[in-house]
Every structure is written in structure tokens, then in C-alpha cells.
């Protein structure tokens, strides 16, 4: 049993960091034994949820069923899935509104160049930035600040690097989102300070863009679209 194989248990219960998870998922592609073991360990772990069932508030059922009525289920995965390009009129309009508060500039797409991030999550973010298939999207703002998003489809991860970002304001944070099928899915927060490098949580491979919004501390369930800046992956 090699060392990678021994990570099956931690992987099954989401106890790997982002790098280890990406490594183990590459291993899973070629190791049927590990795939089977992970499935079986997840089945066992899932039983732990039997210990403390807690009914959610009755209103949650109504909210979920109402939302479901507006969402189309995805088709089954077939042999070849071609990425589809989508536009998000609401969000693009919201992003345009940001210009009014002094932020402008275009989104530029080019292949990876030699910008390297520093700060937290250094190795996890380096892996994305240095991935052979890394894509790079740049957003420059009129106040001199900038945000660069790197995405690696093969790793399924995206990293955002900010320089000179203004303080979001008292009691506010920058929240990060992944856009998928017109939905904004919470993907973490920017730490305090103007210069940061953050690995977004969630599957960036299937995402269509990255959003940044200003939210009350602790974040929001729904993005504040008035403050949204969106970097679309199909720019």
C-alpha cells in the first residue's frame, strides 16, 4: 500500500487540504481500488448523520422547493461534455454599475505569464497558477488596484490575486463567488488588506466566472449585486 492510497480515509471525509485533494483525485482516476474504498468509506461515514437528526425550520422547505422550481436539473454526464458559453446579463449589468463608483477598465484574457502570487496558501495557489492549463484573467480598476484570476480546469481550482484593493468599509468584507449556470455560489472571502492571494473554494472547472462583492461581515447567502465585479471565464 503506497502513501497516496493511505489518504483514502481522509479524502472520504473531506479531511484533505486543497493540494492533497487535487493529488488524490488524480490518483483516483487511475486507481479503481481507491475509488471503491472511498465509496465504501463514505457510505460508512454517512451513517454518522443518523446520530443527531435535527429538523430544519419549516420555512426552509418552502424556500428550497420554491428555488428548485426555478432551476433546471442538469443532464446526465455523457461521454463528451463540451463546455458551453453563457452570459449573465444581470451580473454584467451589475458589474457595469461599479464603474459609477470609480472602478473601470477591461477584462483581459491571456495565457499565463510570470506574475507570481505571494501571501497565504502559497503552495496551493502556486499549483493553480503554475498549472500547464492555467488561464489568467485580469481586471484593472481606475484607482490603480487590480485583481487577477487564475483558473486551472484540470485542477478544478481558481485563485484570485489582488493588489491595492480599497478597504471594503467598516463591518464589510469582500466575498468571492463562483458563477455557474447563472447562479452565484459562495467561494470564500478576501482576508483584510489590499494585497491578497486566495484559493477559491468550490469547483472552478465547471464555473463560468468569478464574482467579487461587498457584503456584511460573515458574508451573505445571496450576493449583493449592486457591488458585483465579475470576471467571466469566456471573456
Partner 1 sequence: MTEPTSLPAGAPAAAGAPAGPDLAALLRASARGDEVAFAQLYDATAARVHGLALRVVRDPAQAEEVTQEAFLDVWRTAARFDADRGSALSWLLTVTHRKAVDRVRSAEASSRRDTSYHQQNQPIDHDSTAEAATASMEARRVRGALASLTPVQREAVELAYFGGYTHTEVASMLQLPVGTAKTRIRDGLIRLRDAMGVGQ
Q: Does 104 bind partner 1 (CB under 8 A)?
A: no
* CA nearest to 226, candidates 234, 215, 217, 218: 215
Q: Does 40 contact partner 1 by CB under 8 A?
A: yes
Q: In this structure, are strands 183-189 and 196-199 parallel, antiparallel, or unpaired?
A: unpaired
Grid coordinates given for 99 = 464603474
Rounded to whole angstroms, what are the CA distances from 192 to 95, 140, 213? 22, 19, 14
**Nearest distance, CB of residue 20 and partner 1, angstroms:** 8
Binding to partner 1 (CB under 8 A) within 128-187 occurs at 173, 181, 185-187
Using the rule CB under 8 A, give the single segment among 91-99, 147-155, 157-165, 196-204 that binds partner 1: 196-204
Closest CB to partner 1 among residues 123, 144: 123
The SS3 call for residue 24 is helix
The torsion angle over the Cα atoms of residues 195, 144, 88 and 219, rounded to 10 degrees, is 40
Min separation Cβ 175 and partner 1, Å: 9
Q: Which neighbouring-strand residues pair with 159?
A: 150, 199
The closest of 185, 176, 157 to 228, measured between CA atoms, is 176
Query: Which of the ranges 12-20, 131-139, 161-169, 225-233 carries the binding residues for partner 1, by CB under 8 A?
Result: 12-20
- DSSP, collapsed to helix, strand or coil, labels residue 81 as coil
67 binds partner 1 (CB under 8 A): yes
47 binds partner 1 (CB under 8 A): yes
Cell numbers of 29, please? Answer: 482516476
* Shortest Å, Cβ 38 to partner 1: 9
Task: List contacts with partner 1 (CB under 8 A).
Answer: 6-10, 12-17, 20, 35, 39-57, 60-61, 63-65, 67-69, 71-77, 120-121, 173, 181, 185-192, 198, 201-202, 217-219, 221
Amino acid at each position: 500500500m503506497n502513501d497516496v492510497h493511505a489518504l483514502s480515509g481522509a479524502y472520504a471525509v473531506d479531511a484533505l487540504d486543497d493540494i492533497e485533494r487535487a493529488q488524490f483525485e488524480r490518483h483516483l482516476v487511475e486507481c479503481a481500488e481507491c475509488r471503491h474504498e472511498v465509496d465504501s468509506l463514505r457510505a460508512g461515514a454517512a451513517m454518522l448523520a443518523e446520530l443527531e437528526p435535527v429538523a430544519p425550520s419549516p420555512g426552509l422547505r418552502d424556500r428550497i422547493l420554491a428555488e428548485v422550481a426555478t432551476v433546471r436539473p442538469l443532464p446526465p454526464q455523457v461521454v463528451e461534455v463540451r463546455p458551453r458559453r453563457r452570459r449573465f446579463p444581470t451580473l454584467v449589468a451589475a458589474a457595469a454599475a461599479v464603474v459609477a463608483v470609480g472602478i473601470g477598465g477591461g477584462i483581459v484574457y491571456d495565457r499565463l505569464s510570470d506574475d507570481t502570487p505571494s501571501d497565504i496558501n502559497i503552495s496551493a495557489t502556486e499549483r493553480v497558477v503554475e498549472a500547464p492549463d492555467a488561464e489568467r484573467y485580469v481586471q484593472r480598476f481606475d484607482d490603480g488596484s487590480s485583481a487577477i484570476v487564475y483558473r486551472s480546469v484540470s485542477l478544478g481550482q481558481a485563485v484570485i490575486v489582488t493588489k491595492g484593493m480599497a478597504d471594503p468599509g467598516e463591518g464589510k468584507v469582500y466575498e468571492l463567488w463562483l458563477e455557474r449556470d447563472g447562479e452565484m455560489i459562495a467561494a470564500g472571502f478576501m482576508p483584510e488588506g489590499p494585497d491578497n492571494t486566495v484559493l477559491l473554494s468550490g469547483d472552478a472547472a465547471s464555473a463560468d466566472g468569478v464574482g467579487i462583492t461587498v457584503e456584511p461581515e460573515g458574508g451573505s447567502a445571496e450576493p449583493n449585486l449592486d457591488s458585483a465585479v465579475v470576471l467571466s471565464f469566456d471573456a
